[in-house]
A and B are shown apart, each in its own frame.
Chain A
């Protein structure tokens, strides 16, 4: 501190290297082994997921496909709620827009699934850009209410517009094809692999964004928005950008959803979907990306699979799971993983996962 000269002094090389290590993985403390463990676990998880079609019945595989699509929706909710601190009930709208866009593409243009996916991503992005600028000027409960209103608005449009089938939705979607001129995919396992591949790519993309300077900006907005203004940020710009990105991711999820179900109705963008997606994020742990994916699995399995054992009262069961998680795991499943990791490293500091 003897010759402190503001920002003009170059750091000592050794310390600079230290600094780099500290920020290469923004949420992890410096240290090589720890940085490698996360990707290793995720690679194993993807391998396990990829072998499921050999182990499961085709009904179970199609359930897994829907879980993956829903998990991507949960990732888009987490991008807003967990990373940027904007609780949202509006992502079902962009999920629905993507699903309808993909369905219309399938009915009127092509059965090519990647083409449907691109259209759905574009539609989700445009829909988010058209509606998001209202929401991003606000935060907290006002943001929640505005996104809820956007969701209900889009739901009403889908329900009342005969071009998209009104309350009947769109049916008669042909089996998807992966390549132009290729054979239609009818095997549940192949559809699953396609959805898994898109899911992994989208997940890695979102993870890269969260680790980028832009991701740091988003966490700053979550933690202390007034401070961001004082160091020259215009939070509304970053919030609008992440809102559009989340809309695109939700649109992709919608496309994956109908690749499996080959049917879309206003029910797919109803309030219940938005609520379940938010619930997945809370159960999984807002702010971590893999937590909400697990949360999505828990939510859909509870609602669709376990509910048959409790006389169809899946929602009741889901409510109980939610209460249990809030009490036992205030930071969700991701918080549990974090607690285990911290327990193994004495003196370790908790990572930046928020309830």
Chain B
């Protein structure tokens, strides 16, 4: 099979709840290796779109292609095994397990040993080591033995990221990864994403527009379930429809000023 340029393609994807269309006829494509941001006001359907992409929710219409392969009928686990993994907007971790156990949970599935009923072997040690490398990569190395329930909010977000990366995805969906993080943690997350191997495609919902425009190679703006604009950051930034959707007025520049610059 010839390599497909797009890691992820959405063709007229919709998700309705009765008469409400939370995601309405959304089509866009994500380049392989892109850092693609999805932005939009609250209620724009971003998280619903992610759930549809990850397979947590089924699309009520449209097709989803992962590396050119139709995954619309795959379940959540199947899509993860094909390399599409997500983080959750509200951290979802294994609270009674240690940090390392949490990440190992993802790593052992990716290594295909999750049903082995006998304990440590050399191969399994490699799984643990890979998991620990991931714990290090997100900056939780000194907390590896702590139970996930004792982590701070920001640390749990980091743990989410480590778990997703440990499942060895080639397309990662980050659902508001920096929500509730301190500026330092946000900065560290941005560094982490910037440091991911270039063949990993990143799709991220992000409210911090500084992060968006420092990282993103492409931006899609959702509004009321529909795509308002999609393209390179500079183009989207200049789009009048985007500015009015965000601000409801024409004084658009303020949207893209750094926080603190105007207040």
Q: Which residues of A contact B (CB under 8 A)?
A: 1, 3-11, 15-16, 18-20, 22-24, 26, 29-30, 208-209, 211-217, 219-220, 223-224, 226-234, 237-238, 241, 245, 349, 352, 354
| Beta-carbon contacts under 8 Å, B17-69 to A | 54, 56
Contact between chains at B132 and A15 (CB < 8 Å): yes
Query: Which residues of B are found within 8 Å of A219, using beta-carbon distances?
Result: 94, 96-97
Could you say which of A20, A212, A231 has the most chain B C-beta atoms within 10 Å of its C-beta?
A: A231
Closest Cβ of chain A to B115, distance in Å, is 5
CA A21 – CA B157 in complex, angstroms? 25
Closest Cβ of chain A to B183, distance in Å, is 15
Query: Which residues of B are found within 8 Å of A234, using beta-carbon distances?
Result: 77
| Beta-carbon contacts under 8 Å, B73-117 to A | 75-77, 80-81, 85-86, 88, 92-98, 100-101, 104-106, 108-110, 113-117
Binds A, one of B190-198, B225-233, B245-253: B190-198
Query: Which residues of A are found within 8 Å of B98, using beta-carbon distances?
Result: 22
CA A15 – CA B117 in complex, angstroms? 26
Known: A19-B132, A19-B144, A349-B150. A208 touches B119 (CB 8 A): yes
Could you list 26 A-B pairs, sorted by A, with CB under 8 Å?
Answer: A1-B139, A1-B188, A1-B191, A4-B192, A5-B195, A5-B197, A6-B196, A6-B197, A7-B133, A7-B168, A11-B132, A18-B132, A20-B128, A208-B119, A209-B118, A212-B119, A213-B114, A219-B94, A224-B94, A227-B88, A229-B77, A230-B85, A231-B85, A231-B109, A231-B166, A352-B96
For chain B, the bracket of interface size reads 35 or more
Contact between chains at A349 and B147 (CB < 8 Å): yes
Closest Cβ of chain A to B162, distance in Å, is 10
Contact between chains at A212 and B144 (CB < 8 Å): no
Contact between chains at A213 and B116 (CB < 8 Å): yes
Could you say which of B101, B119, B163 has the most chain A C-beta atoms within 10 Å of its C-beta?
A: B119
Interface of A is mostly: helix
> A16 — nearest CB in chain B belongs to which residue?
B129
Known: A23-B101, A229-B76, A232-B77. A238 touches B94 (CB 8 A): no
Closest Cβ of chain A to B177, distance in Å, is 14
Known: A8-B197, A10-B133, A230-B76. A213 touches B92 (CB 8 A): no
Known: A7-B134, A241-B115. 8 other contacts (CB 8 A): A1-B139, A19-B132, A20-B129, A213-B124, A220-B105, A223-B94, A224-B94, A227-B92
**B1 sits at the interface (CB 8 A):** no
> What 9 A-B pairs have minimum CB-CB distances, sorted nearest first?
A232-B80, A19-B132, A352-B96, A223-B94, A4-B195, A231-B106, A4-B137, A11-B133, A229-B76
| Beta-carbon contacts under 8 Å, B133-147 to A | 133-139, 141, 144-147
Q: Which residues of B contact A (CB under 8 A)?
A: 54, 56, 75-77, 80-81, 85-86, 88, 92-98, 100-101, 104-106, 108-110, 113-120, 124-125, 127-139, 141, 144-147, 150, 163-168, 188, 191-192, 195-197, 200
CA A174 – CA B119 in complex, angstroms? 40
Contact between chains at B114 and A352 (CB < 8 Å): no
Closest Cβ of chain A to B178, distance in Å, is 15
Query: Which residues of A are found within 8 Å of B105, using beta-carbon distances?
Result: 216-217, 220, 228, 231
CA A24 – CA B145 in complex, angstroms? 12
Query: Which residues of B are found within 8 Å of A233, using beta-carbon distances?
Result: 77, 109, 114
CA A214 – CA B115 in complex, angstroms? 4
Contact between chains at A15 and B116 (CB < 8 Å): no
